[in-house]
Structure 1
Amino acid sequence: MAPPNPLPLSDEWKDADEYVSALLSFTTESVMFMNLCGGVHILDFLTRDPDLYTSLLPEDWCAFFEHHDIHSILQLLLREDIGPLCEQAETNTTDRSWNGSAFPPVSLLEYIRNIRRLSLRREFTPDKSQSLPRHIVVGMNKKKAHEVEQFSRYVASLSETIEESRGEPLTHIADFGSGQNYLGRTLASAPYHKHIIAIERKHQYISGANRMDVHARLAKDEKKKFMHNAKLAKLKKPKKQKNQCDDCTDTPELASPENPDVSEIKVQAQSEPTETPQEEAIGQVEDDIFSDTLGGMSLEANDILTSVEHKPPVFKPPPEVDSRGTVSYIEHEIKDGYLEPIIEHVVDPKTPVESRTATDEVVTQSENKPSDPRVMVVSLHSCGNLVHHGVRSLVLNPSVVAIAMIGCCYNLLTERLGPATYKIPILRSSHPRLKQTGSSWDPHGFPMSKLYEEYEAKTTKGVKLNITARAMAVQAPYNWGHADSEGFFTRHFYRALLQRVLLDHGIIPKADVPKDLYADDPENPESGIALIVGSLRKSAFVSFTSYVRAATVKLSQDPLRGDEVKKRVCTMTDEELQGYETEYLPTRKNLSIVWALMAFSSQVVEAAIVVDRWQFLREHDSVKECWVEPVFEYGQSPRNLAVIGIKK
């Protein structure tokens, strides 16, 4: 099942070793790449002096960008065939043009070519032969349904391949960070019928997953349900006759063909209040109408006395539970890759294990012979270090024989080698989170492999990616449409402009260029204080005024500077805020260009992270095969690269 090439590379690479060497060289030596991926921050765009845009980009790049709008630039970065452009660039003719205007600089074309050739390929052809049944897909949106459908099919196929090569079946599949257990529930259901160990630290997720298991026919509903039937209760309740007086105990009989001698029963009516002549006239008219209506009806006595037959309600039996696949939930916070205690908890060696032969004869193993669990560890978009724990589980646990891990949220990874020490000009201000994450020295963090740890570069030792670079790696620029990109650019422009407002009104100090991004600055202690806006509603981005009003609601709650925000920013008029937007609107295009370059370059950051995980497996003798491949469509879910490992 392993692909011919262990990494999804472009055709120009001869083998994986050549690619890895070029990847590490580029990520540690390209000044432009290191600045765009971790060396600049959007918050500094309108607060730095000199201007960040001209400090970051070469003059010929800036001159070229002046002649093209942002969407033409995105077309060049992402989709334009630059092969013919590179050939034209080698000629010395001066009449070259692109898209009806200025021709791209040679250095820009070379940078685009390097980013594309070092990015991992994402092409995937989905299998749409059979979609998930409705009782399984409950709770999933379109994106999640696509991920679960394709990855569950991949995991099932991989498990069959492993069973054939090892000559023994896998006993369980462990899902790291199972969440609502969409993947595990699908694998436990038809047609896969796998035995799942769902490991999740949040109790509310497990409770919700248990309820969905009932709907998916994997478990019985333990709750006793009482269904009230109003019609049945009404039949059982004795009725009191309307015309029966207090002294009567028997139900009066009515005249019928069977009882012709029954006389008319006279019931004394209760005394009513005296009616006015007007009320009597109205009542007489109503009686006449009622009499005329009844006079036109032809009814027999049997018609009146015919009783209505009430049938008891028919309840549908609950759907039969499919017990061929099982789910075992473990509430546990995973802090490393050692899983043996959890596996032993689910698969107790002392408990007799029943198995069925081809003739359905039950065979009970001896209690003295311990069971031999063989587990595959899987993960669908586990955040941060959780994927590192899953990858390490293959080499730490005798029971784990294979892994299939898909990561996401690279910004939540920790750093193992300490602060980055690249000797390049610093173009960003200091930030407390940059110091905190860069100085964590977490043994479970990035990088995992010895190759990355001991790599000798011209500017540093070891491959290091700070939180800004890793946060950019979750971008998906190839999924951007016109409206999407405009929305991104507007949001970042408003946030950068708000930072300028905060600076002008003395809420934050002017950002200096530090000599060391990770060192404390005793001369400017306030540089380590960050104001975080967080997420806002879409209505906040209608205009800059709306954005400031919504953002200052959050900023005014800051314990250190909230009062200053209320006094100096919340009191600004709409005209003042509109003046800021008008003054700095020309910088929006420049900011958009930098953001587009950052998102485009971040593909190499993701490639470096994924390759590090593959390289870690490659360095262990106990691993028989390991590779990386896309397992669902990038357009549906851009974090589609799975790291696969199989033990010898």
Structure 2
Amino acid sequence: MAPHCRYSCDTAAQTLEWISAINDFLRPYMFLLNDHVVNFFKDRLWESIDKQWMNCLRKESVENLLKIPSGIVQDNWPASLKEFILTSRSLVLPREQVELQMMLPNLHVASLDTVLTQGMNMKKKHEVETLAAVVRSIAESTGSQTIIDVGAGQGYLAQVLSFQYNLSVVAIDASSHHGAVTSARAERIKKHYAAKTKNAHLNVPQTVTCCVMSSDALKAFSDALLQKNDFEPLEMKEIDLGEPYLEGLEVERKKPSLCSNSNMGPSLVLAGLHACGDLSVTMLRTFIECKEIKAVVSIGCCYNLLSEEGSQNSGSQCGFPVSEGAKLSGLSLGKSARDLACQSAERWRSLTKDAALQNFELHAFRAAFQMVLNRYYPEILTTSPSIGRQGKALRRQQQRRVLQNNLHVDKRTSLPLVATWEKCEMERSCTTSNYSEAYQGAYSCC
């Protein structure tokens, strides 16, 4: 029995209808969505589930349970349970793979040699190989001169765009360590190709360390880049980003924006491979606000890390919801629901029985461990946040507080942005106690 979707995103009105239907469906079950999976065991949340459903599912085989996220039901199940599963599946946004060649007729995916793929596993190689070809195709069709690789990491994508496709690339990342790795790796690749082709004037990606936590920061960086007529090597001291940027911190721009209403002049493409959390949303906002940015090519990830309006850590520009329509519908998920949304129905369906049982048992043992901590060691949950199911969330809150404190201090003392971020990185590594470090590998829970 395959669920049928009667909704569409063809128009704004139809999209809003779909969002409202999702919101209406989720609302009665928010008591489950707002709790971590560990709480299902710890707080006996199963007692709030329809008893008919629980009696039925307790007797069901593991193989059939794994098919539930894919919308597959059994004939002998209660009608209300079947309706719930089929309705939930019918509301899922489509995930059909699109043939890239149909969308980008000029697309040619070049096979990368071992020099460019050094250090990449097979998955990374496939991602970089394909995405670089897509970026090159879009840059060509939009006439864009420069690519900004946002959240460049170790620079794999930036280097393929530079050396394989001869594009001008600026790789930006919040980690100065990543910037150093990117530059060193690029120099090794350049040395190899220069010796092979006798060409000393190869394109090398420029690396910049800056913390992009708002569209204002990314626009300011784009402005600084557009002011460089020949895109000569950039130094952080040359880029005026105003005060250090942080979500929720009001910052005045020191220079007029070059992101004007003009369609003439230099043009950029924003690219991101695994642009984590709010970073993908920041790229989209910058694309909308800056006419000189002609396209965004973004593969997002870690949607559970999106900031949400009304949450404890929300800032002036939240990552969810983005659209006014979603905001007006009152759509709200929360951290646990966003974690759940990152689960893959296809992955669960493909698990073997033994692997599935191992997953189920893991959650049960995590819940048991959390109960032991709550009852006998409650102080550990606050002094050593790496332990227990709240570990990562509390650790992120600590890191955010460190960053906020340092940025406010540096706003008064006018420290350079790079120095600010490096200091935050150093302090962040010291926030975990020795006790929590001893248990982190075995017991840390997200």
Q: How does the TM-score come out when normalised to structure 1?
A: 0.48
Q: Which one of the candidate residues 185, 191, 195 is aligned to 1:212? A: 185
Larger fraction in helix: 2
Q: Which one of the candidate residues 21, 33, 41 is aligned to 2:17? A: 21
Alignment of 1:541-552 (within 5 A): none
Alpha-carbon distance in structure 2 between the residues aligned to 1:322 and 1:25: 59
Q: Which residue of 1 aligns with 2:93?
A: 120
Amino acid across the alignment from 1:450: E
Deviations 1:598-626, CA, capped at 9 Å, x for gaps: xxxxxxxxxxxxxxxxxxxxxxxxxxxxx
Q: Which residue of 2 aligns with 1:177?
A: 151
Q: Which residue of 2 aligns with 1:138?
A: 118
Confirm or deny that 1:506 pairs with 2:384.
Answer: no
Q: Which one of the candidate residues 343, 349, 362 is aligned to 1:491? A: 362
> Tell me, what secondary structure is at the counterpart of 2:66?
helix
> Tell me, what secondary structure is at the counterpart of 1:216?
helix
Alpha-carbon distance in structure 2 between the residues aligned to 1:25 and 1:407: 25
Amino acid across the alignment from 2:77: P
Amino acid across the alignment from 1:383: C
Alpha-carbon distance in structure 2 between the residues aligned to 1:451 and 1:219: 52
Q: Which residue of 1 aligns with 2:321?
A: 447
Q: Which one of the candidate residues 168, 189, 195 is aligned to 1:195? A: 168
Q: Which one of the candidate residues 345, 368, 374 is aligned to 1:477? A: 345
Query: Contact (CA 8 Å) 1:206, 1:331: kept in 2 or not?
Result: yes
> Tell me, what secondary structure is at the counterpart of 1:140?
coil
Q: Which residue of 1 aligns with 2:416?
A: none
Aligned residue pairs, count:
351
Confirm or deny that 1:156 pairs with 2:136.
Answer: yes
Q: Which residue of 2 aligns with 1:605?
A: none
Q: Which one of the candidate residues 90, 108, 112 is aligned to 2:81? A: 108
Query: Contact (CA 8 Å) 2:270, 2:293: kept in 1 or not?
Result: yes
Alignment of 1:396-475 (within 5 A): 396-416=289-309, 418-419=310-311, 436-437=312-313, 440-455=314-329, 462-475=330-343
> Tell me, what secondary structure is at the counterpart of 1:109?
helix
Deviations 1:61-88, CA, capped at 9 Å, x for gaps: 11211221222211244273x5xx6xxx
Give the superposition deviation at 1:104.
Answer: 1.7
Alpha-carbon distance in structure 2 between the residues aligned to 1:141 and 1:464: 37
Give the superposition deviation at 1:390.
Answer: 0.6
Q: Which residue of 2 aligns with 1:65?
A: 57
Alpha-carbon distance in structure 2 between the residues aligned to 1:399 and 1:219: 34
Q: Which one of the candidate residues 28, 39, 47 is aligned to 1:44? A: 39
Q: Which one of the candidate residues 184, 196, 211 is aligned to 1:333? A: 211
Query: Contact (CA 8 Å) 2:172, 2:179: kept in 1 or not?
Result: no
Alignment of 1:319-330 (within 5 A): 320=198, 323=201, 325-330=203-208
> Tell me, what secondary structure is at the counterpart of 1:134?
coil
Query: Contact (CA 8 Å) 2:16, 2:326: kept in 1 or not?
Result: no
Query: Contact (CA 8 Å) 2:109, 2:130: kept in 1 or not?
Result: no
Q: Which residue of 1 aligns with 2:221?
A: 342
Alpha-carbon distance in structure 1 between the residues aligned to 2:144 and 2:369: 56
Give the superposition deviation at 1:182.
Answer: 1.3
Give the superposition deviation at 1:126.
Answer: 7.7
C-alpha change, 1:219 and 1:131, in structure 2 (3 Å) is closer
Higher CA-based Rg: 1
Query: Contact (CA 8 Å) 1:218, 1:325: kept in 2 or not?
Result: no
Deviations 1:255-277, CA, capped at 9 Å, x for gaps: xxxxxxxxxxxxxxxxxxxxxxx
Give the superposition deviation at 1:208.
Answer: 0.9
Query: Contact (CA 8 Å) 2:190, 2:204: kept in 1 or not?
Result: no
Alpha-carbon distance in structure 1 between the residues aligned to 2:365 and 2:22: 33
C-alpha change, 1:409 and 1:320, in structure 2 (3 Å) is farther
Poorly superposed stretches of 4+, deviation over 6 Å: 126-129, 218-221, 526-530
C-alpha change, 1:116 and 1:529, in structure 2 (3 Å) is farther
Alpha-carbon distance in structure 2 between the residues aligned to 1:60 and 1:555: 47
Amino acid across the alignment from 1:533: I
Q: Which one of the candidate residues 268, 271, 276 is aligned to 1:378? A: 271
Amino acid across the alignment from 1:454: L
Bigger mean CA deviation after superposition, 173-182 or 334-343:
334-343
Amino acid across the alignment from 1:334: V
Q: Which one of the candidate residues 376, 382, 387 is aligned to 1:533? A: 387
> Tell me, what secondary structure is at the counterpart of 2:169?
strand
* Gap regions ≥5 residues in structure 2: 102-107, 233-263, 390-431, 440-446
Amino acid across the alignment from 2:152: S
Query: Contact (CA 8 Å) 1:173, 1:195: kept in 2 or not?
Result: yes
Amino acid across the alignment from 1:119: V
Alpha-carbon distance in structure 1 between the residues aligned to 2:368 and 2:174: 40
- For CA contacts below 8 A with separation 6 or more, give which structure has more relative contact order: 1
C-alpha change, 1:325 and 1:79, in structure 2 (3 Å) is farther
Give the superposition deviation at 1:35.
Answer: 3.6
Alpha-carbon distance in structure 1 between the residues aligned to 2:384 and 2:332: 23
Alpha-carbon distance in structure 1 between the residues aligned to 2:122 and 2:377: 44
C-alpha change, 1:117 and 1:340, in structure 2 (3 Å) is same
